[in-house]
Amino acid sequence: MISYLENKGLRIIFSYVVNFDESALKNIEQVYEKDTCSEVQSKLIRGITKIICDFINIPELAMKGTALKALREWEIINNSSINTIADMPIGKGLNAVKEIFCNGKKMVKEMLSDPKDKNEILIDISFEKAFKFFLDYYYQNQG
């Protein structure tokens, strides 16, 4: 289970071990390697990747590919660039980021190997904890 232990300013994160299909990981890594990102996309991808990789044992490049694909899916569904999120009212902007996290979670689940049920639960918990971590970071660095 993910636990945070505060000890003299140090945070220790216990991450989940999740079983992934190696070929699925390689395929999503190629998405990131073959595509180009804007500066805003790249910054958001790095942030999401850092948070999720702290919680589950997914390779960084695979998570970057997943985050990029999740961002692109959000842009297509909303017919909007992620650049617009910063200009949205706070509630709408946070909902947009939550949608991106949900897209990514769905994609990560598609890369699982057996036992899928156990791994899906770990992914759900990890993404919820990661989004909470994102919110905490956002509020601490706001204004």
pLDDT per position as a tens digit, 87-110: 899 899 889 999 999 999 999 999
Q: Does residue 86 fall inside a structural domain?
A: yes
Domain assignment present for 95 = yes
Domain presence at residue 27: yes
Could you tell me if residue 60 is inside a domain? yes
Instruction: Please check whether residue 4 lies inside any domain of the structure.
Output: no
CA-CA distance, 119 to 127, in Å (whole number)? 12
pLDDT-derived band of residue 10, with 50, 70 and 90 as boundaries? very low
Cα–Cα–Cα angle for 86, 65, 2, rounded to 5 degrees: 80
Helix (H) or strand (E) holding 7: strand 4-7
The answer on pLDDT for 33 being more than 90 is yes
Closest CA to 52 of 114, 118, 100: 100
Q: What whole-number distance in Å separates Cα of residue 86 and Cα of residue 101?
A: 16
Answer with the residue of higher pLDDT: 22 or 3: 22
Number of domains in the chain: 1
pLDDT band at 15 (very low <50, low <70, confident <90, very high): low
Is 26 within a domain? yes
pLDDT recorded at residue 130: 85
Maximal CA-CA distance, the chain: 46
In this structure, is residue 112 part of a structural domain? yes
Whether 2 maps to a domain, the answer reads no
Residue-range definition of the domain harbouring residue 91: 18-140
**What does the pLDDT read at residue 4?**
38
pLDDT in tens, 36-82: 888 888 888 888 898 899 888 999 999 999 999 999 999 999 999 98
Mean pLDDT of the chain: 84
2: confidence class by pLDDT, cuts 50, 70, 90? very low
